[in-house]
Amino acid sequence: MSARVVVRDVMFTYPDGRLALTGVNLTIEPGERLAMLGPNGAGKTTLALHLNGIYTADKGSITIDELDVVEDNFSEVRRRVGLVFQDSNDQLFMPTVGEDVAFGPANLGLVGAGLTERVDHALEAVDGVMLADRPPHHLSGGERRRAALATVLAMEPDVLVFDEPSAGLDPAGRRELITMLSAQPMTQLLITHDLPLALELCPRAVIMNEGKVVADGETRTLLADGELLAANRLELPFGFSPG
């Protein structure tokens, strides 16, 4: 399954009075894989945390397949929208990886063979079956990233939001992650500073800066615009050409 995400005129202010989102408009079509780019402090993660109700907008609206992201709907919204945090340790807290992956579906009432099957499928999707009985704190960074992704896939979300998916991964782990994400059919929003990854995985990208979307278009076109990248504190790796 996949879902359409619509963000309309969203504004958000932190408790200290700092304006974080200044009127964000964004539509992600069902099954689309979208890269969200921009400098630190642009509002990317803040917006992502609105998509499943961790933050609530001061103004504006967000819908997931026409389901409003409001408090009365948070339970269903959080089933539909899976968020993989930048720090995998924020999602891994049980004694073993298998128990972590089972935690969400079990809270939805899944038990017995159905729960076992859900966990097995999620771990297979990230090539992590061998991790099931291992304590999360004994895993490498790449293994923790796969385990965290499995905890979200086990919920069978319609939308996957992944904050800095390639951060801290070695080249082989990064390639494995790209393969895994490419195989997933749900709508995906990938927040990343890894511009080559954005180009490889996402036909479309948006650039955020100062709390709003400042560019939206074909990823290759945006990355070929040196002035646009420089204005938004983005830089391609040395020798890399989006063409």
Distance CA 196, CA 203 (A): 12
Reading the block at residue 36, the tokens are: 């969200």
Domain for residue 103, yes or no? yes
* Cα–Cα dist 140/119, whole Å: 20
Please indicate, yes or no, if residue 44 is contained in any of the structural domains. yes
Domains in the chain: how many in total? 1
Q: Which two tokens stand for residue 160?
A: 């996957």
Domain annotation covers residue 242: no
Q: Which domain holds residue 211?
A: 5-231
Burial of residue 227 (CB within 10 Å: 0-12, 13-18, 19+) is: exposed
Residue 88 has pLDDT above 90, yes or no: no
Whole-number Å distance between alpha carbons of 4 and 97: 31
Both structure tokens of 237: 């790796």
Domain contains 118: yes
**pLDDT at 90 (0 to 100):** 84
Q: Does residue 14 fall inside a structural domain?
A: yes
Is residue 129 in a domain?
yes
CATH number at residue 146: 3.40.50.300
Q: What is the pLDDT of residue 241?
A: 86
Asked if residue 237 is part of any domain, the answer here is no
Model confidence at 133, pLDDT cuts 50, 70, 90, reads very high
pLDDT at 239 over 90: no
Task: Kindly state the average pLDDT of the residues 80-89.
Answer: 90
Asked whether residue 241 is domain-assigned, the answer is no
pLDDT tens-digit readout, 169-212: 889 889 999 999 999 999 999 999 999 999 999 999 999 999 99
User: Which pair of tokens denotes residue 166?
Assistant: 């390639």
